[in-house]
Amino acid sequence: MAKKNSPMTELARKAVEKYVRDGKVFRPRKLTAEMKSKAGVFVSIKKHGELRGCIGTFAPTRTNVAGEIVANAISSATQDPRFMPVEVSELDDLEYSVDILTEPEPVRKVDQLDPKKYGVIVECGFRRGLLLPDLEGVNTVEEQIGICQAKAGISVGEPIRVYRFQVKRYN
């Protein structure tokens, strides 16, 4: 029996499939209450357990969560610079997860962080790196912050601002 996907991941899947097959943006008809709210959203795509794309927004940029999911799902499939765009032949092999973010809050001390519970944003000027929580292979706060700094091109020793957030993850 196939695993039932959440409405959030189903929306991501439909958005990617419509865009990859037809070049059109999927417009959902029915929205859950959570889809009508506003929040930052990340959409991750995996193929055979390996990351295939991950794009998101740490703060809302669309009318609602549904709009964030559709836009970020399409971007994850077609715009992640680490990967070639998803092709029609891959669609049946893809798995989706959707992370809905709480509003980031400033962190004063690293002991306020926990890589399993909180995602992290590290800023230095206009450079910003973000890492979602509870990622395989990321076990310490130092690893989290280091990955964020590397993503943003921030050198060790540069002054940084750190923020934390939580996610509601849908698989």
Q: What is the pLDDT along the chain (171 residues), one digit of tens a residue?
A: 345 689 999 999 999 999 999 999 999 999 999 999 999 999 999 999 999 999 999 999 999 999 999 999 999 999 999 999 999 999 999 999 999 999 999 999 999 999 999 999 999 999 999 999 999 899 999 999 999 999 999 999 999 999 999 999 999
The partner residues of 127 in beta bridges, in order of sequence, read 124
- The pTM score is 0.90
Measured distance CA(144)–CA(42) in Å, rounded: 17
Same domain, 65 and 139: no
Amino acid at 124: C
Q: Considering 53, 75, 101, which residue would you say is the last residue of a domain?
A: 101
CATH code of residue 56: 3.30.700.20
Per the structure, the complete domain to which residue 79 belongs is given by 7-101
Q: Rounded to the nearest 5°, which phi and psi values hold at 158?
A: -70, 150
